Chains A and B, each alone.
Chain A
């Protein structure tokens, strides 16, 4: 699991390799640490976690700016708090 701050002020979380509930749990805990308006890129390779993260973000008022599939089985989410 990797959590990094990029030079442009955005954050990156890589939770590939983990299964439920860890990807959604760590994604949301990390988002809680950010300030409003900040952006985090998350990499997840557990499809059901993507579904849960998506709904959790909607519930919390976070915006999913982008959802891509960089390689088979991996989803990248760009989330803005």
Chain B
């Protein structure tokens, strides 16, 4: 009876979340039709939240569980998601060539990945993983998010310009994608390519081939030996020999190439829910790029900051039928400028695709600025990203939508639970890990999504450079956590040397 009451209460809360987001959507639209752009970000976030919670989609898990407990599901899921997104993205950038994202390759990516990877394993979740876990009621993940947000903002306001001047500007390889390397056009940012050129260079070579090599490597290092051992035992049982006599490499039972393929497939299909979520996330990520690019065209802007500043992009004619005296399209706010000084470039952070950390840095920056600190005397906030009110920061609404989408799904699945840190150890891991992730995200110019998942799917080798750093960082912190876990188990109060 109590369970039935709890279930129906959960359903009401879940519906309440949808109702709240619908009301918010209407309010945005009533303020100005162009604000549907923010609404679109929010609902895409909501869908990411549902899918991530369903698939337990977290990049920390991909590296950490692979290293610590030999679980491959999330690493496989990320590769599946990357391949899906890269194929659809080849379509999208053929239609909208100016959405062809090309990140610089350099030492900053490796270092940023290293710090981020080291931090995310301690924190217990990556940037986007911590968002969906916050939606499950996990306040430890919220602590991670806040640490990540404020460490980014403080680093950006104090040290990022120095770091950029010494380690990024003039120290990177720019405008390089695999498609450009094959078909020419490196150094020509306006070069255009056909769908098949993008498909070959960006999807097949940069994403699929690299992903396949990594999956085969993981199969050989982690999965193969125990799988073939189990397989040989099963075969021995069928053949009537003793299991002990069967081994993979000798003995009475021999395994062959067919068994290798079966082993590889068992790794790919180990977690159906992770793989399904991965494919759907790839599709949604591509749909988001397409939708937001279409909306920018439809509402006459190239960056949402132009809407906030009330200044259309140069060379961008107003829609036909606009009044002669009009300075901005009719769909824009009537008071013309919501934030005249949004940033020096009249831009805000508006990536147009799945992105996580910058909007959270802006939220923390805005909070500190509101508290009286000067947060915009630097190029990160002052020049391009701005410090708009949180409700006018499009990408931040994606993060809000993601949290609420995860809450919605967790409530319906009876997995929502308020969880507060039980001890100091959890708080130290969350704050320390979150802070390192924040610094890593700014050093590497993005997080596990913006510097790895997106670029690796868009044909950018820079994504893989960040991934190498992620892997190394995750490996180091996994070893440290494992050391502390062993020490704890050996301590008197947790003696696991059980006398049987």
Contacts and interface: CB of A to CB of B under 8 A. Distances in A.
Contacts of A19: 124-125, 133, 138, 140-141, 419, 426
Contacts of A58: 270
A47 B449 CA distance: 22
B423 to A, nearest CB: 8
Given A3-B496, A20-B60, A73-B416, A51 B485 contact: no
Main secondary structure of the interface of B (DSSP, over half): helix
B417 A74 contact: yes
Interface in B44-68: 53, 56, 58, 60-61, 64-65, 68
Nearest to A60: B226
Interface size class of B (residues with CB under 8 A): 35 or more
Interface string B131-143: 0010011101100
A81 to B, nearest CB: 12
Nearest to B416: A73
Interface in B138-160: 138, 140-141
Contacts of B389: none
Contacts of B494: 1, 3
Interface in A14-33: 17-22, 24-26, 28-30, 33
A58 B272 CA distance: 14
A28 B482 CA distance: 12
Interface residues of A, number: 36
A10 interface: no
B419 A51 contact: no
Given A17-B419, A60-B226, A48 B496 contact: no
Interface of A: 1, 3, 5, 11, 17-22, 24-26, 28-30, 33-35, 45-48, 51-52, 54-56, 58-61, 69, 72-74
Contact of A52 (B65, B230, B496, B498): B65
B448 interface: no
Given A19-B125, A25-B482, A30-B496, A47 B65 contact: no
Contacts of A59: 70-71, 223, 226-227
A21 to B, nearest CB: 5
B417 A45 contact: yes
Nearest to B222: A59
Given A21-B65, A21-B481, A61-B230, 17 more contacts: A17-B426, A19-B133, A19-B419, A20-B61, A20-B64, A24-B65, A29-B485, A51-B271, A51-B273, A52-B56, A52-B74, A59-B223, A60-B226, A72-B416, A72-B417, A73-B137, A73-B416
Nearest to B57: A48
Given A20-B64, A21-B68, A47-B56, A73 B417 contact: yes
Contacts of A61: 226, 230
A21 B53 CA distance: 17
Interface in B403-420: 410, 414-417, 419
Contacts of B10: 72
Contacts of B497: 33
B496 A20 contact: no
B1 to A, nearest CB: 14
Contacts of B416: 72-73
Contacts of B138: 19, 46
A31 to B, nearest CB: 10
B234 to A, nearest CB: 11
Contacts of A46: 138, 419
